[in-house]
């Protein structure tokens, strides 16, 4: 089916009380693996590219062409999401390329600059009829595309003002997780942020490595999108490393299958699967 937008996916997740997985991918086999899992589990999905992954695959235009073509063959809702855009230039390029969901990340900027540039990014998203995700606080960690390892938890009072002024459609919050295979969720903080932002869809970055119990509790507390990157990249890498022979295609198929297995498990855990 045609690509869908973030607001459509997040609104359905809110009604259903689940979280939509957002998988950061960096090659066509990973895209195929995630889509295979989504079809098998009958789950909606965000296919995401951060700046590092865009560089690897050949740019926003190449990423959009691949996802648009493969999603058209799928029978589940798929959004093409720009993750962690650090500037308006990349936002505009993604819009032109055909991305259907956007994130502006000003979380490492001073608060006033984050607020101002997020408002500018929101205007770009509105002009394109797309939803915008922003980040407040900072989810640090060690992963390609992450600008600093330092973490700053999201303050509920600041979040309340930030979402009122920027009018963003979803908010990535820092509640204890980190990019990479790490993270323990501050569930009390998730609940406070949910109240402070008046039920705005909250996004959990650094979803790889979060325990199943914490993940289910985070969704129950109001998380409506969870980003997962390291887990599927690690699964892909292990599968490739175990392959033998001179033909890369069996290795790539093994990597694709490994991604699909991890993705299906996360779809089930987040409550997004109809076939769970």
Supply the DSSP symbol for 100: S
C-alpha dihedral over 38, 43, 44, 45, to 10 degrees?
A: -40
C-alpha dihedral over 94, 29, 145, 140, to 10 degrees?
A: 120
Sign of CA dihedral 208, 137, 270, 33: negative
In angstroms, the Cα distances linking 219 to 33, 188, 192, 206 are: 24, 13, 14, 14
| Residue tagged active-site, from 83, 105, 155, 169 | 83
Q: Does 83 qualify as catalytic in the annotation? A: yes
From 108, 219, 103, select the one nearest 166 (Cα to Cα): 103
d(CA 215, CA 269): 7
Burial 155-164 (b: 16+ CB within 10 A, else e): bbeebbebbe
C-alpha 135, offset from chain centre: 12
Active site residues: 83
């Amino acid at each position: 089916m045609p690509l869908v937008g973030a607001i459509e996916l997040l609104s359905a997740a809110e009604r259903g009380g689940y979280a939509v997985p957002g998988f950061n991918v960096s090659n066509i086999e990973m895209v195929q693996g995630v889509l295979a899992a989504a079809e098998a589990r009958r789950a909606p999905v965000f296919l995401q590219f951060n700046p590092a992954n865009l560089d690897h695959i050949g740019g926003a235009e190449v990423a959009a062409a691949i996802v648009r073509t493969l999603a058209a063959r799928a029978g589940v809702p798929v959004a093409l999401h720009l993750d962690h855009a650090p500037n308006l230039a990349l936002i505009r390029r993604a819009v032109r390329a055909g991305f259907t969901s956007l994130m502006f990340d000003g979380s490492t900027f001073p608060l006033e600059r984050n607020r101002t540039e997020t408002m500018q990014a929101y205007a770009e998203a509105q002009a394109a009829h797309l939803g915008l995700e922003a980040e407040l606080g900072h989810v640090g960690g060690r992963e390609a595309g992450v600008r600093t390892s330092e973490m700053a938890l999201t303050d509920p009072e600041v979040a309340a003002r930030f979402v009122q002024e920027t009018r963003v459609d979803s908010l990535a919050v820092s509640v204890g997780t980190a990019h990479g295979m790490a993270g323990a969720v501050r569930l009390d903080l998730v609940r406070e942020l949910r109240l402070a932002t008046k039920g705005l869809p909250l996004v959990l970055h650094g979803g790889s490595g979060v325990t199943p119990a914490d993940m289910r509790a985070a969704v129950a507390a109001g998380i409506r999108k969870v980003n997962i990157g390291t887990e599927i990249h690690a699964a892909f890498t292990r599968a490739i490393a175990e392959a033998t022979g001179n033909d890369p295609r069996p290795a790539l198929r093994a990597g694709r299958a490994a991604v699909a297995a991890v993705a299906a498990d996360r779809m089930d855990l987040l409550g997004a699967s109809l076939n769970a």
